[in-house]
Amino acid sequence: MKQDRILLAHGGGGSLTHELIERLFAPAFGMKELEDSAVVEFAGQRLAFTTDSYVVKPYFFPGGDIGKLAVCGTVNDLAMQGAQPLWLSLGMILEEGLPIADLERIVASIKAAAADVGVKIVTGDTKVVERGKCEGLYINTAGIGRVIADVSSTRVRPGDAVIVNGNLGEHGVAVLSRREGIAFQTSVISDCAPLWSLVQSALISGAEIHAMRDPTRGGLAVTVCDIAAASGVGIRLQESALPIGAEVRGACDLLGLDPLTIANEGKVVMVCRGADAGRVLDAMRGHPLGRDARVIGEVTEKPKGMAMLRTAIGGERIIDVPTGEDLPRIC
C-alpha cells in the first residue's frame, strides 16, 4: 500500500479504492472477478449476492433520500449481473438525536422503493451510536437475486457498442446542490431509480449483451476504465454523443468538476454486440428510464486496457481513473 493511513479518497471509487481492494481485500479473501455482484451456485441455482453501505450527506436530497438510494443502489448492483432482485437485508446505524420524523420518512421511502421493484426486505439490524458520530444515519444492505443472463466485464470484445440510458451526472449534482458550504440553486434532481425492469427489457430483446455496469462512484470514467481493463480492450467514447444536460454541465464548470467523474444512481452502461445496438436502443427507449438511451462509443482492439475520449473538436484524450471522488459522501 502506498498510503499508511486511510483517506476519504479510499472510499471514492477511484484509483485509491482499487488499490485498497486489489492489494488488501481481494488477496486476503481470494476474490478474482470484481463485478457489482458475486455469482454463486446454490441448490442448482445461480444466484447473485451483493452488499453495500450508504453514507450520503445530506440524507435528504432533490429526487430522493438515503433510504431510496439504499434500495436502488443494491438492486441495481444485482441487475448489473443479469440478476432479478429477490431479497434484501437492511442494517440501520442511527445517531443519538436523529429526529423520529426523519426516520419515519426514510423508512416509508425504503418501503416504496422496495415495492416498486418487487424486492422483499427479509431481515435487518439496528444500532445507535453517540451524538456526533454518524451525522444522522448510515444504512448497510445485502441483496440476493436470481441470475437470468451471463454478463461480465471480461466478455467485452472489439466491435461492441457502448450504450447509456440517459443523462449523466444528475445524482452527484443534486446532492452537491444541497451540501452545506456548497449549496447552489438548480432544478437538477437525482436520477436515483431501480433499473431491473429496464435491464430486463434489454435482456429479453434477443440482443447479445456482454457487460453491464452502473456508473456510481467515479462516474462514467471509472466504469469504462474498469471494463477496458477487465477485458484487455480499448474503449473509445464520443464526446459529442455523451448525454450531459446544460445544468449539470454548468454546475461542473462552476465547481471545476469533470462530468465524466460525477456519480449516477439511475444509469446503466451496457456493452452489446455492435450489430445488436439498435435492438437494445429500441428496448430501452420503450421504458420510462431509457427514453434518452444512446450509443456513446465503441470497443476497439487498442489501446488495450484503456479508455479514450474523442473530443468535439476532433482530438483524443485518455480517460483517467480519478484518485477518489471530487467530493466524498455522495452515495
What is the total count of domains within the chain? 2
Predicted pLDDT of residue 189 = 96
The whole-angstrom distance between residue 144's C-alpha and the CA centroid of its chain comes to 17
Specify if 170 maps to a domain: yes
User: What cell numbers appear for 300 in the block?
Assistant: 476497439
Supply the pLDDT for residue 190: 98
- Domain that residue 99 falls in: 36-147
Residue 82 lies in a domain: yes
CATH at 86:
3.30.1330.10
Q: What is the DSSP letter of 326?
A: S
Question: What pLDDT is stored for residue 304 in this prediction?
Answer: 95
Within-domain flag for 17: no
Confidence of residue 59 (pLDDT cuts 50, 70, 90): very high
Query: Domain boundary residue among 113, 147, 181?
Result: 147
pLDDT at 264 over 90: yes
Percent share of the chain, pLDDT over 70: 99
Instruction: Give tens-digit pLDDT for 217-249.
Output: 999 999 999 999 999 999 999 999 999 999 999
Q: Residues 241, 163: one domain?
A: yes
Q: Is residue 207 one of the residues assigned to a domain?
A: yes
| Average pLDDT over the chain, rounded to an integer | 94
d(CA 330, CA 262): 9
- Residue finishing a domain among 147, 182, 217: 147
| pLDDT tier, 163 (very low <50, low <70, confident <90, very high otherwise) | very high
Is the same domain home to 306 and 183?
yes
Same domain, 218 and 80: no
Model confidence over 4-58: pLDDT tens digits?
888 888 887 878 888 888 888 888 988 777 788 999 998 889 999 999 999 999 9
CA distance 186 to 31: 42
Predicted pLDDT of residue 148: 95
Could you tell me if 136 and 162 lie in one domain? no
pLDDT of residue 1: 64
Give the residue from 130, 147, 164 where a domain finishes: 147
How many angstroms separate the CA atoms of 281 and 65, rounded?
30
